[in-house]
Chain A
Amino acid sequence: MSTLILSGAIAGLVYGLVACAIVFVYRASRTVNLAQGDIGMVAAFVFLSLSVRGDLPVALGVAAALACGGLVGWLMNRLVISPLGERDQGTGLVVTLALASILQLAALQIWGGSAYHFPPWFGDWAGVTIAGLTLRGPEVLALGVSLLFVLGGSVLYQRSRLGLRLRAVSESRQAAATLGVHVKRISGYAWLLGGVMSAAAALLIAPLTRFDPHFMFAVMTSALVAALLAGFKSFPVAMGAAVLIGVLRNVVGFQFSTAGVDEVLLLAFAIAVLLVKPPAALRTVT
């Protein structure tokens, strides 16, 4: 049981990375990006092609995958979201769902629909055992890298000049523009960084799950619920909710072995939490 909880929490950290990417992009451009997970999917396949089936060194392959994630995110904003201009938020949802669908179709065309073996990080290292709990190699890496991203992300967001401009844009695009912030460029950076985060999440979760063009689906639905419960606003709430969802998914999925039961759980969980404690940022009556 405790192993279930622990590995669920670590998966939750990775969901949390994607959830934070969703919040990050939403804050900068008022768009809930439903393609956030599939950006990572494409990046993971790029890594697979370059470093597993090709012979690029792993470090370069990882760098290329992260860059690819960033590029896909940036291009989405540049080619589709930005030309749409200021529309209602429903439009953003529909458009990014269409983009997700295009990414998946493209991946199916290029890499096919069957599952691949994604090699575990650190090859045959058995992992670490603390107090009778074993963490496998990929899990240790997922834990470390997620925490690193959380730390780095908050320093970037709170301390750097770019972070200041990002926060300004997320508060008010118009006010930021009048203060000399290049709003479109900053939104582009947010999409780029969001893409990099998704790519990292995908690389971390890939060895722990079935790996095919749909493998980010479960990650994406969990991350989306976490971001929703955070009102697409608060990073810590998104991260916390994601860890909770990771644990719940793991425990419930283990108790009931029926496929897809965790998706129903997620739906019920989302509706229940939204009704009992609606996030302030999304409430209608103030």
Chain B
Amino acid sequence: MIDSLRSRNVVAPVAILGLLFAACWLLAAQGNTYVVYLYGIGLVYATATLGLHLLVNDCGDISLAQGGQVALGAFVGAQLFPLVPGPLGPIVLVAGSILAGALAGAVVSLPMLKLRGLAVAVVTLLLNAAIFHFVLRFPDFVGGSGGLRLRPADWLPRSDADAVGWLTVLTIAVVLAVQTLRRSRFGLGLRAIRANEALARSAGVAVQWYRTAAYTVAGGTAGVAGAMWAILHHGVAPSAFTDASSLLLLTLALLGGRGSVAGPMAAAIGMGVLTGLLGGYGIVVSFAAPVALLFVLIKHPGGLNEQITMAAHGLRLLGAKLRRRHRDAGPPAEEAGAVVERAGSAAKGAGNGFTPDVPPPSADAPIALRCTDVDVTFGGLAAVSAVGIEVHVGEVLALVGPNGAGKTTLLNALSGHRRPDTGKIWLTGQEITHTPTHRRAALGLRRTFQVGGHMPAEPGFEHLRLGTHVQRSTSRGEVADRVARQLGLTQADLAAPVGGLAAGTARLVEIGMALAVPGQVLLLDEPTVGLTPDERRQLAGTLRALARDGLAIMLVDHDTAFIRWVAHRVVALDAGRIIAQGSPGAVFSDSVFVKAYLGSAEALV
């Protein structure tokens, strides 16, 4: 199934763009070269939009300089082209353009290493201004107001139809490159960043570098678009671009919407051809882009992709009706099977997944995770103060305490999401106090979140794939089978978008993500929220089994029954300090703890 998907991803763009090129060739043969030229412009827009699609729709960042980078690429390429004679010329043209665009993208996103996306988006606006108001006004660089001409003898297409052939090849190359990136670990990492940055970090994604890379890729595609512009026009003039072109390209990406590249490409090619045909109504055209943008963002945030999906769905339904296949009921039967299977696995979990009395690890078991003297303050509030805690290999440790006791803050300090003000943290003897979250994840420190720990639009399989992000050489099928077995998830659960699953199932997918690669330490923040009693029992059994195999587990939870099943040791926090620790039974009857929890000294049942 994966192979057929892959070939479809290559065949579909090649076939569609090839057919469009054939249509252009026919039009050119009839002498209608203007439309052919406009289609070429559309391809330039489409190529520049492809990189933005990855940046804007996948990663959720904004570049307001894409038009500037297209212009920069065009001029750099046109400057380099005459330096190299012969067939190498066009190659140097394209390569120079890509480099120029990508370099500008990389430089402008440098602040990303420290700052939120908003800051970088604003910096891209400044880059756009600097390019249009300074770089493109250097007479030597842009060849005066007449611009740079590429000599026609030098290995370049002569007619518009030939040029569109070249552009089609370049566009296909960019589509395939962008699609490969989007389907790779990199693309998945970008989508995870968009869904939840903290989640992406804890899955081992180097968030800052990924975003910088996304800006670089977007700049590179802008460079290709610049080269295409120069090839189509046999040169480039400064008047060809205005600083509004960046807004136009951004509009095209958002008009296309999240998901497939089809939406943005359709928007770009459509806009290229339409604005050309409406050339006489210049004012209508220039108002159209910003107004269209506002309309789409307010009324149809899904963009063209949503419309395309809906249309395709409608067509499929229509086709099914026409062929009278609706009585066949294939999919419902499959679903019913899934339900049966699920019920079976839950029953199994209730029956033997739970093993109450696994002895705690011996006292000389090595320490997996340790922290000393950790302080975390929010303004004047000491959320965690002077906490020292350790969890041994093979041990399940539960953190308990009333709301606001600092349990989640402590987990954040351990996983690296919140830097402690003082204190040190070691992972199996290695100090990790200043190690970034994603590297802690790669070292085997995995975690789940109390809320928002998944990507709602992605299926469970993609979550498990994100879970294996730190290990390149993991077989996806194997991981899915193992995790599904451990947690009692069905293949149907893993195939559906997690946002549509029951809360408990989604929670299990999140835990599965943290279990996707063998780790050293697992931190779980309220894993039982949304789980049924059966699922809780099965989870307890699974966690105990994982601990027996050498995993150290630290979890935060409020379900005392669950903690009694699962935990070897309990540490109670109140107001950021440890107030009691010991076996579950001892802590839950400890008068200090019970008072902190309930306000009176009546023991928990």
| Residues from chain B with Cβ under 8 Å of A279 in the complex | 115, 119
In the complex the two chains form, is A286's CB within 8 Å of B111's CB? no
In the complex the two chains form, is B116's CB within 8 Å of A283's CB? yes
Residue on A with the closest CB to B62? A90
Kindly identify, within residues 248 to 286 of chain A, every residue whose CB is under 8 Å from any CB belonging to chain B. Answer: 258-261, 263-264, 266-267, 270-271, 274-275, 278-279, 282-286
CA distance A32 to B283 in the complex (A): 27
| Residues from chain A with Cβ under 8 Å of B297 in the complex | 84, 87, 91, 94-95
CA distance A228 to B207 in the complex (A): 22
Interface string of B509-546 (1 = CB under 8 A from A): 00000000000000000000000000000000000000
| Residues from chain A with Cβ under 8 Å of B123 in the complex | 228, 267, 270-271, 274
CA distance A88 to B283 in the complex (A): 31
Closest chain-B Cβ to A88's Cβ sits at a distance in Å of 6
Interface assignment of B553: CB less than 8 Å from any CB of chain A: no
Give the dominant DSSP class at A's interface. helix
CA distance A83 to B299 in the complex (A): 9
In the complex the two chains form, is B290's CB within 8 Å of A99's CB? yes
Interface assignment of B324: CB less than 8 Å from any CB of chain A: no
Q: Which of A32, A97, A228, A261 contacts B247 (CB 8 A)?
A: A97
Tell me the number of A-to-B contacts counted with CB atoms below 8 Å: 143
CA distance A95 to B111 in the complex (A): 23
Number of interface residues of B (CB under 8 A): 50
| Residues from chain A with Cβ under 8 Å of B60 in the complex | 88, 90
| Residues from chain B with Cβ under 8 Å of A284 in the complex | 114-116, 197, 207-208
Residue on B with the closest CB to A278? B114
Residue on A with the closest CB to B111? A274
Number of interface residues of A (CB under 8 A): 45
| Residues from chain A with Cβ under 8 Å of B289 in the complex | 98, 101
Interface assignment of A105: CB less than 8 Å from any CB of chain B: yes
In the complex the two chains form, is A263's CB within 8 Å of B133's CB? yes
In the complex the two chains form, is B111's CB within 8 Å of A259's CB? no
In the complex the two chains form, is B244's CB within 8 Å of A101's CB? yes
Interface assignment of B462: CB less than 8 Å from any CB of chain A: no
| Residues from chain B with Cβ under 8 Å of A88 in the complex | 60
In the complex the two chains form, is A93's CB within 8 Å of B64's CB? yes
Stretch at the interface among B2-10, B124-132, B176-184, B335-343: B124-132
In the complex the two chains form, is A260's CB within 8 Å of B130's CB? yes
In the complex the two chains form, is A98's CB within 8 Å of B293's CB? yes
A interface vs B, CB < 8 Å? Answer: 32, 34, 80, 83-84, 87-91, 93-95, 97-99, 101-102, 105, 109, 217, 221, 224-225, 228, 232, 258-261, 263-264, 266-267, 270-271, 274-275, 278-279, 282-286
Cβ contacts A to B, 11 pairs, < 8 Å: A88-B60, A105-B283, A228-B123, A258-B134, A263-B129, A264-B135, A274-B119, A274-B123, A284-B208, A285-B419, A286-B419
